[in-house]
Amino acid sequence: MAVKIKTKYGLIDISNSVIATVVGGAATSNYGVVGMASKNALRDGAYTILNRENYRRGVVIKTNGNQIVVDVYIIVGYGLKISEVSHNVQDSVKYNLENLLGIKTKSVNVIVQGVKILDD
């Protein structure tokens, strides 16, 4: 399912894979996020960190009219305040979706799939 944006010049379709790539890039750019995790942790491996080509496996997008609901699955670094990292991910994802793609988000849900010890 794609997001459709109507402009005076015509219709713009943005696919879910593009949205997932923007969401994944925004999420992983935050301090404390080790990487993206798969939404199916049992099937894909509990602590498998996704690479950039597979961000869509760690993002669930639900459309609701002109707004979307985004679920982001991440792995957080050990010793960091998970609530702060999650809040920063929410702000970053919402900002990037609105400024890069022009998509309003109804909510951004962050699901922490695991904690990993950071290498020095």
Q: Is the pLDDT of residue 120 over 60?
A: no
Domain boundaries, the chain: 16-116
Identify the CATH homologous superfamily for domain 16-116: Cation efflux protein, cytoplasmic domain (3.30.70.1350)
Query: Cα–Cα distance between 10 and 34 in angstroms, integer?
Result: 40
- Cβ-contact 97, 23 below 8 angstroms: yes
The pTM score is 0.83
Stronger pLDDT, 118 or 110, i.e. the higher one:
110
Band the pLDDT of 106: cuts 50, 70, 90.
very high
- Cβ-contact 103, 65 below 8 angstroms: no
